[in-house]
Structures are given as structure tokens and as C-alpha cells.
Amino acid sequence: MIRKVLIVDDDRILCSLIQKKFEKYKNIFSVLTAKDGMEAVEKLKGNTTSLVVTDIQMPRMDGFALLAHLSENYPDVPVIVFTGHGTPKSKKAVLGKGAAGYIEKPFKVEDLAQKVIATLKKESEGGTLQTISLEMFIQLIEMEQKTCTIRVFNKLSRGQGVLFFRNGELMDARFRAMQGKPAAYEIFSWDKVTLSIQDTCAIKEKRIDEELQAILFEAMRLKDEAEEHGESADETRDEKEAEKDIKRSEAPPAPVADIVRHKLEKLMGEKNVLENIYQDRSWDYLLTQTVKVGKFFGAGILKACYINQGESTDFILLPGDETTVITVSPKCPRDRILQVLSE
């Protein structure tokens, strides 16, 4: 997920220099520029911004006024302040208003870049999840009563939204100029997403007064209504490309598969309980994401994963350098097998 960093300064030459020097970090973040606080406010409305870097002395709307605006409307967006007229008093005032960093001019652009990157890393301190159901994940947030900020990236439209949770309650949502329930409806309608999780929530006042389930149901209703009018952004082709191929591998059994088979047959005393055991890297990514979800919720170490697709064959996945796949009948003694594999 490419973050957006907004640079605010009336010095056009400095802005252009920073933008040019930051080009080498384009795989981490992109740069927006504004000549003063008023232009920055407009840029913030149209872009989901991860960080603001601003000067203090600017025409029309200075850095202090911009800080106040951000604190009121975007409390989750960190701010780094740079100034050519710094004093101990101004530094104390800036940091006291919630700025994440303070730099005096002149400065090395590379030093600023490192501070930007270090600040952006806090956005995903709780992990980054891909190919996961947003609806399922936020319901887990509610059940576990987690406090966090979730930044949601729509892989199809390239849009970015933010969800704020405190003790499992949806406090607020933001997407471009939308806030509250309208933003939540939009974000919850997305199918293919990447989630970036921050283990804090800057929102203290609850701006969404409905229950999470009611918000979800309304989002799905609006989505269905939009699709009936041909407004859906998610095409079937994209969904098929995002799905995993879960057909079993034709590769011959690997040594580790033989060890697992021997262990199960020896400890369980049953010869026909397993259909096949093989290794298949196409499952590696799914297990990696499952481990991240488990870690986020403190679920412990993943030892085995049972998948019931409602078909004639079920799967048991074992993590490792390569995922070991065990195909079994849905009528197998599932709990007994998982117990043996977890020992």
C-alpha cells in the first residue's frame, strides 16, 4: 500500500526539491504539495493522507492554524513541522499541539525522508493483511473489543479509507471528504482490500451512533442497489484472479508428507483415514495471513488449519517451509486428527 504524504510550504522551490528527492521512495509513499494551509485543507478532502509535513509561517493559513484543523478533523494523521524561524518556545508550542516531529531549516532532505518513513511505519505496527474479508475481520474486532485504527486500501478502485475502533466499537470512518456513516457505508462495500492496522485510536468521541451490524447491513443494501444500476466497481474477472487455486497438487508426495502420514497412522491406528498428503506452495500465502490474524488477536501459534468447503473433500493445512496439505473425508475424526497434529 503506497501512502500519501502532503508537503505544505509556500516555498515552491523547496517543495519541488523535496518532491524530486523523495522520488526514490515512490514504492513506500507518494508526495502531494500545497502552498499554504488553505490549499492543504482542500487536498486533505480529496486524498486519504497518511502524513502532513508543514512549514509554520505561510500566507492565508499558517502552520499553527493547519495543526488545529488537523487535530479537529484528522486526529489520526501525524504532522511533522519544519521552520526557518525556530525557537525553543515555538518548538514547545508545536509539539504541545500534537506534532509528531519538529525540524529546523536548513535540513538534509534525506534526514526528513527517514523521519517520514519512521512515522509511516507506525500506521502498520499491528500488521498488514491481504486477501482477507473486511466484514469478517471487523466483526472479530468487535468480538475481541480491540482498540485500533484500520486503514483500508481498495485494490480495484485504488481508494483508501480509515476505520476507527475503540474497545470494539466503531467510533468513526473517513473516506476522502466523507466522514461518519456515509464513509463507513462506502468502505464496507469494498470486496478486495488490503488492511493496515495501527494499535491505537485517536478518535475519542463516538461519531457513529448505530451498531456495527446495522451499519454492515445498510452498506450491503446500498451495494446491492448500486450493482442493480450497474455501478459496481468490482468485476467478476478481478474476483476470479484474486481467488486461490485450491485444487490438490499433482506433485508426488514429499518426505515430510510421508512422516506426517506415518505419524497419523501409527498414533491413530487407522489406515484409511487419510486420502492424500502432499506439499503445495499455493497455500503458503493463505497460512501467512492466517498467522498474522491470529497474532493480532493473541490466538497463539498456528499448528494446523482445517478447511471445510462443503464438498466431497476437506483439507487440513500444516504450516512450514512449504504448506503440507492433507485431504480427508468430511466424515473423518477431525478433532482427533487435529489433536495428533498439534502434539
| Residue bearing the bigger pLDDT, 30 or 337 | 30
Q: Do 299 and 238 fall into the same domain?
A: no
Q: Do 234 and 260 fall into the same domain?
A: no
Rank 99-103, 273-277, 310-314, 324-328 by mean pLDDT and report only the highest.
Answer: 99-103
Say what the pLDDT of residue 230 is: 66
Structural domain boundaries enclosing 238: 127-242
Say what the pLDDT of residue 4 is: 94
- Domain for residue 248, yes or no? no
Say what the pLDDT of residue 244 is: 41
Residue 302 pLDDT class (50, 70, 90 cuts): confident
Calculate the average pLDDT of the chain: 84
- Domain for residue 250, yes or no? no
185, 221 contact by CB (below 8 A): no
Residue 296 has pLDDT above 60, yes or no: yes
Final residue of a structural domain among 60, 95, 123: 123
| Nearest of 127, 73, 124, 125 to residue 288 by alpha carbon | 127
Q: Do 226 and 266 fall into the same domain?
A: no
The torsion angles phi and psi of 53, rounded to 5 degrees, stand at -115, 120
Say what the pLDDT of residue 247 is: 39
Final residue of a structural domain among 78, 98, 123: 123
Cα distances from 261 to residues 224, 238, 268, 317, in angstroms, run 47, 37, 11, 13
Say what the pLDDT of residue 271 is: 53
32, 44 contact by CB (below 8 A): no
Q: What is the mean pLDDT of residues 158-165?
A: 93
Residue 267 has pLDDT above 70, yes or no: no
Say what the pLDDT of residue 248 is: 38
- Domain for residue 186, yes or no? yes
pLDDT digits (tens, 9 = 90+) for 228-254: 776 554 443 344 443 443 333 334 444
| Residue bearing the bigger pLDDT, 259 or 249 | 259
Side chain identity, residue 314: D
pLDDT digits (tens, 9 = 90+) for 176-201: 889 999 999 999 999 889 999 999 99
Q: Do 188 and 268 fall into the same domain?
A: no
Q: Do 222 and 320 fall into the same domain?
A: no
- Domain for residue 45, yes or no? yes
Final residue of a structural domain among 123, 158, 178: 123
SS (H, E, C) the chain: CCEEEEEECCCHHHHHHHHHHHHHHCCCEEEEEECCHHHHHHHHHHCCCCEEEEECCCCCCCHHHHHHHHHHHCCCCCEEEEECCCCHHHHHHHHHCCCCEEEECCCCHHHHHHHHHHHHHHHHCCEEEECCCHHHHHHHHHHHCCCEEEEEEECCCCCEEEEEEECCEEEEEEECCEECHHHHHHHHCCCCEEEEEECCCCCCCCCCCCCHHHHHHHHHHHHHHHHHCCCCCCCHHHHHHHCCCCCCCCCCCCHHHHHHHHHHHHHHCCCCCEEEEEECHHHHHHHHHHHHHHHHCCCCCCCCEEECCCCCCEEEEECCCCCEEEEECCCCCHHHHHHHHHC
Share of the chain above pLDDT 90, in %: 45
Residue 156 has pLDDT above 80, yes or no: yes
- Domain for residue 247, yes or no? no
Say what the pLDDT of residue 174 is: 95
- Domain for residue 155, yes or no? yes
Say what the pLDDT of residue 12 is: 93
Say what the pLDDT of residue 74 is: 92
Q: Do 222 and 290 fall into the same domain?
A: no
Say what the pLDDT of residue 231 is: 56
Say what the pLDDT of residue 245 is: 38
Q: How many domains does the chain have?
A: 3
| Residue bearing the bigger pLDDT, 109 or 245 | 109
For position 10, which CATH number holds? 3.40.50.2300
**In angstroms, rounded to a whole number, what is the distance separating the alpha carbons of residues 24 and 21?**
7
Residue 317 pLDDT class (50, 70, 90 cuts): confident
Q: Do 115 and 150 fall into the same domain?
A: no
- Domain for residue 190, yes or no? yes
Residue 108 has pLDDT above 80, yes or no: yes
Say what the pLDDT of residue 294 is: 78
Q: Do 141 and 193 fall into the same domain?
A: yes
Q: What is the mean pLDDT of residues 158-163?
A: 92
Q: Do 229 and 272 fall into the same domain?
A: no
Radius of gyration of the chain (CA): 25
Q: Do 97 and 163 fall into the same domain?
A: no
Q: Do 143 and 99 fall into the same domain?
A: no
pLDDT digits (tens, 9 = 90+) for 35-73: 999 999 999 988 889 999 999 999 989 999 999 999 988
Say what the pLDDT of residue 238 is: 40
- Domain for residue 249, yes or no? no
Q: Do 91 and 199 fall into the same domain?
A: no
